[in-house]
């Protein structure tokens, strides 16, 4: 029988005391654990419920779609970095075989991107010749995913040489309503300004990137409680995108402008009260496992360090229906990471489904741990 874990300490985001028993993937009471499960590994330190990468692409890479084996390795790189929930925002690969596994992050899937021909990254999306087909395709992708549908809201239109919306407003409203009727939420890739009003009026649930937010669309997002995942470490690539688009000077100028004011834009969104979450956009220009870089980048919005930790963990988990610690998942640190976010790169333990799967004290499978005991204070020991 695998040992239970007794997790104690202080939640680094909320400052709440932590005293939990994990028997495998179950969270159990003290009496039930001590009476029925021996031995017990005691883990003590500064605790977080695990990061959510709220914008990730398992099954995709710089070279295009990958096989299921590489997709699993991508998931494991995220796990080692402390990501215990992934919201996969579109993949050309059917990753359903990676869902529901206790040895990988919880995987919440959006199916495949929906776009128009030549209006998104080649071979990544389902491309619709007729915008009127969006409603039917949204319904198909809602069935393919597990709770989300991903639209491409804007992309360069080569006929005008700049970013432009892909979908008529009336079609968006019907498509998003169809997704909601199917029990799915909808999110959209949006860089610029012009696609946002139609998406928000149609009832979109989340905006990805959002560099084109204005005071007006920020107010609309607040009123509608629309969430935002700014993918700040990918926004850093905008100048590179602009440099590669010398045939389209208006687009290049627009992308540089969006990049230059992005921190200010996201700061206004945070100040207004828009729920903001950490998402790396890993799978294309961003390598998997960079969630800590995104969390640190979010401090540029004006959020303090504990607020950023809440946004990347507690708040995102609640939004996605994965309450903190409910799956016997946690991260443990020897020192308070809210004092120095660089400490997030060195977890004492990454706990998934009640088992230590990474960190400086990884469970070796025999009830012990691989790392040395820290002595008094935070550490891991066999009770």
Give φ, ψ of 5 to 5 degrees.
-115, 135
Residue 220: the pLDDT is 98
Residue 359: the pLDDT is 83
Inter-residue contact 262 to 297 (CB < 8 Å): no
Residue 365: the pLDDT is 39
Domains of the chain, earliest start first: 4-49+324-382 (2.30.40), 51-319 (3.20.20.140)
Residue 35: the pLDDT is 54
DSSP calls for 200-258:
HHTT-SEEEE-TT--HHHHHHHHHHT-EEE--HHHHTTHHHHHHT-TT-HHHHHHHHHH
Cis amide linkage into residue 281, ω under 30° from 0: no
Give, for 295, the enclosing helix (H) or strand (E): helix 291-298
Residue 360: the pLDDT is 74
Per run of 10 residues, the mean pLDDT along the chain (length 383 residues) is: 86 97 84 57 93 97 93 98 97 96 97 96 94 98 96 97 98 98 98 98 98 98 98 97 95 98 98 98 94 98 98 98 96 97 97 90 43 46 54
């Amino acid at each position: 029988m695998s040992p239970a874990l007794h997790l104690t300490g202080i939640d680094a985001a909320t400052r709440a005391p932590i005293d939990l028993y994990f028997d495998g993937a179950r969270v159990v009471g003290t009496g039930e654990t001590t009476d029925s499960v021996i031995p017990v590994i005691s883990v003590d330190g500064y605790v977080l419920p695990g990061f959510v990468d709220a914008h990730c692409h398992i099954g995709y890479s710089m070279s295009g779609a990958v096989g299921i084996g590489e997709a699993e390795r991508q998931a494991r790189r995220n796990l080692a970095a402390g990501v215990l929930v992934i919201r996969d925002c579109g993949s050309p690969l059917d990753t359903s075989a990676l869902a529901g596994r206790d040895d990988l992050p919880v995987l919440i899937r959006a199916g495949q991107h929906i776009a128009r021909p030549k209006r998104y990254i080649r071979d990544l999306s389902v491309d619709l010749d007729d915008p009127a087909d969006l409603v039917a395709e949204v319904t198909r992708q809602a069935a393919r995913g597990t709770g989300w549908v991903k639209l491409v809201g804007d992309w360069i239109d080569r006929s005008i040489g700049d970013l432009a919306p892909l979908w008529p407003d009336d079609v968006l409203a019907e498509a998003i309503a169809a997704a909601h009727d199917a029990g799915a939420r909808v999110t959209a890739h949006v860089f610029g300004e012009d696609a946002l009003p139609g998406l928000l009026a149609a009832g979109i649930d989340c905006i990805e990137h959002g560099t084109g937010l204005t005071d007006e669309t920020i107010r609309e997002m607040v009123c509608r409680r629309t969430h935002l995942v700014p993918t700040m470490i990918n926004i850093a690539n905008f100048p590179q995108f602009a440099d590669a688009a010398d045939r389209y000077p208006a687009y290049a100028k627009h992308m540089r402008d969006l990049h230059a004011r992005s921190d200010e834009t996201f700061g206004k969104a945070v100040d207004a009260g828009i729920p903001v979450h950490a998402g790396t956009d890993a799978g294309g220009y961003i390598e998997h496992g960079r969630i800590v870089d995104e969390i640190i980048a979010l401090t540029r919005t004006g959020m303090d360090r504990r607020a950023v930790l809440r946004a990347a963990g507690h708040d995102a988990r609640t939004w996605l229906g994965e309450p903190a610690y409910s799956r016997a998942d946690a991260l443990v640190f020897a020192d308070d990471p809210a004092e120095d976010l660089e400490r997030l790169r060195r977890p004492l333990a990454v706990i998934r489904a009640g088992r230590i799967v990474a960190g400086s004290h990884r469970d070796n499978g025999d009830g012990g741990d691989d790392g040395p005991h820290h002595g008094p204070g935070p550490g891991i020991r066999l009770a």
